[in-house]
Amino acid sequence: DTEVTQTPKHLVMGMTNKKSLKCEQHMGHRAMYWYKQKAKKPPELMFVYSYEKLSINESVPSRFSPECPNSSLLNLHLHALQPEDSALYLCASSQDGTGRGNTEAFFGQGTRLTVV
Amino acid sequence: KQEVTQIPAALSVPEGENLVLNCSFTDSAIYNLQWFRQDPGKGLTSLLLIQSSQREQTSGRLNASLDKSSGRSTLYIAASQPGDSATYLCAVNSNYQLIWGAGTKLIIKP
C-alpha cells in the first residue's frame, strides 16, 4: 500500500470560516509534508513533520496551522483565509524520519480549496 | 542555490512515438532525483526515484537516467500512449528539500 489519503477532495470556505484538511498514511512513514500548489506551478513546501514534530515551517502565515496527532495522521487547520489562498493542497509522506526527503516521497490526490 | 529546469515546457507527439523529457539542475550535490506525473487537478504520482549513486532506473515503459556531473536527468517514455498525457515534474532532493522543475506538459495524440 503506497497510498496517501486526503480529505476532503474539494472545499469551499468563506474568509471567516474555520476548516481542516486531513491526511492519512499507513506506510509507516515518519516524515509528513504539506505543500501548496497554484495552477500551472510546481508545489511549494509549507510544513514538514519529522517523527510527529514540526521540523520545517516555510514562513507560512499563522492562518495555516498544522497538527500531527500521531504518526499516521496530519491535519492542516485553516482560519481567516484570503482568496489568494485558493489552491491545491497536497500532503506527502516519506519513510525517512529526518524529513530530509532522502527516500521516495508519496503524494495524496490533494484538496482543491476555494476561498470566497 | 539549486535551480531545476525542465525542457521543453510542452510537448505534443503522435501515439506510439518514443520521447525524452529533460531535467537539469545547477548544483550536483544532490541526494536523489524523483520524477512525478500529475494529471490536471490531481495529486502527484511518483514514477521513478534515482539515488545520487545510481545512473538509471526503469519501470515498465519508463526509463530515467541521472548524470550528476553534468547536472542532467532524462525521462524516456517508450511507445507513448494517449494515457501518458499529463504534466511530468522532476524534483531534486538538495539541501534537505525537494527543489522542483516547472514541469513538461505532455500531450499524446491518438
Q: What is the pLDDT of residue B98?
A: 87
Looking at residues A5-18, what average pLDDT do you find?
A: 96
The answer to whether A86 and A14 are in contact (CB under 8 A) is: no
Query: Searching chain B, which residue's CA lies closest to the CA of residue A109?
Result: B43
Task: Grade residue A96 by pLDDT with cuts at 50, 70 and 90.
Answer: confident
Task: Grade residue A80 by pLDDT with cuts at 50, 70 and 90.
Answer: very high
Q: What is the pLDDT of residue A100?
A: 61
Size of interface A-B (CB pairs under 8 A): 55
The answer to whether A94 and A82 are in contact (CB under 8 A) is: no
A97 touches chain B (CB under 8 A): no
DSSP notation for B28-83: ---SEEEEEEE-TTS-EEEEEEEETT-SEEEETTEEEEEETTTTEEEEEE-S--GG
A chain contacts of residue B37, beta-carbon cutoff 8 Å: none
Which residue, among B25, B59, B96, B99, would best test binding to A if mutated, counting the most A CBs under 10 Å from its CB? B96
- What's the grid cell of residue B107? 500531450
Q: Residue B6 pLDDT > 90, yes or no?
A: yes
A chain contacts of residue B88, beta-carbon cutoff 8 Å: none
Query: Searching chain A, which residue's CA lies closest to the CA of residue B93?
Result: A101
A104 touches chain B (CB under 8 A): yes
| Burial of residue A59, with CB atoms counted within 10 A of its CB: 0-12 exposed, 13-18 middle, 19 or more buried | exposed
Q: Which of B46, B93, B103 is the closest to A102 by Cβ?
A: B93
Question: pLDDT tens across B10-55, in order?
Answer: 999 999 999 999 999 999 988 899 999 999 989 999 999 999 999 9
Choice among A9-18, A44-53, A55-64, B91-100 with the minimum mean pLDDT: B91-100
CA–CA distances in Å: residue A104 to residues A86, A95, B18, B62, B101: 28, 7, 26, 17, 17
DSSP notation for A65-109: EEEEEETTEEEEEEES--GGG-EEEEEEEES-TTSS--S-EEE--
